[in-house]
């Protein structure tokens, strides 16, 4: 199964992701700011680290330090189980932005005021054709 399909099995179709997530995953260089946002999205949506890393590598094609950066953020967010509001992420379950909280507090704390996205998917990005081709390439490369 391709890495996108593994993530889609848990979060739903990649075509329904917020445009900012698609840009982070497919188009932007993996600098520390980008990787923190990618890590927050993956961690907040309860993806296993290995699945998150495989998915990011397949989507972005840039492999330098991806595991190290994603693991570092996971470790930060795992540390204090009682801390609130560690980082914001887009919850695919709630369909809005939520907070990463310590594990003892639960993950479903909606960011206030509630910000709802008006557009989702490839067409809401600046690169719909390019990202679609990249997705098709990932899917066709898996035997």
Mean of the per-residue pLDDT values of the chain: 89
In a domain, 93, yes or no: no
The 10s digit of each residue's pLDDT in 2-16 is: 899 999 999 999 998
* Polymer length of the chain: 143
In a domain, 13, yes or no: yes
Q: Which residues of 30-51 are buried (b: 16+ CB within 10 A; e: fewer)?
A: beeebbbbbbbbbbbbebebee
In a domain, 112, yes or no: no
Work out the angle at residue 55's Cα, subtended by the Cα atoms of residues 52 and 57, and round it to the nearest 5 degrees: 105
- Range of weakest confidence among 27-41, 88-102, 113-127: 113-127
The pLDDT confidence band at residue 142, using thresholds 50, 70 and 90, is: low
The pLDDT confidence band at residue 98, using thresholds 50, 70 and 90, is: very high
Domain with 29 in it: 3-80+122-141
Give CA–CA dist 102/84, Å, rounded.
6
Q: Which pLDDT value is given to residue 56? A: 93
The 10s digit of each residue's pLDDT in 25-41 is: 999 988 889 999 999 99
Give CA–CA dist 65/79, Å, rounded.
21
In a domain, 86, yes or no: no
Number of structural domains, the chain?
1
In a domain, 92, yes or no: no
Check residues 118 and 36 and name the one with the higher pLDDT: 36
Q: Which pLDDT value is given to residue 31? A: 87
Q: Which pLDDT value is given to residue 143? A: 53
């Amino acid at each position: 199964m391709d890495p996108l399909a593994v993530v889609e099995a848990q979060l739903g179709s990649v075509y329904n992701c917020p445009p900012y997530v698609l840009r982070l995953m497919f188009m932007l260089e993996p600098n520390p700011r980008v990787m923190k946002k990618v890590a927050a999205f993956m961690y907040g949506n309860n993806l296993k680290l290995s699945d998150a890393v495989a998915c990011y590598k397949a989507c972005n094609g840039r492999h330098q330090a991806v595991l190290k950066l994603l693991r570092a953020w996971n470790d930060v967010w795992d540390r204090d189980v009682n801390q609130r509001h560690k980082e914001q992420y887009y919850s695919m379950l709630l369909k809005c932005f939520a907070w990463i909280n310590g594990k003892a507090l639960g993950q479903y704390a909606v960011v206030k005021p509630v910000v709802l996205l008006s557009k989702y998917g490839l067409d809401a990005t600046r690169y719909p054709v390019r990202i679609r081709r990249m997705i098709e390439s990932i899917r066709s490369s898996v035997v």
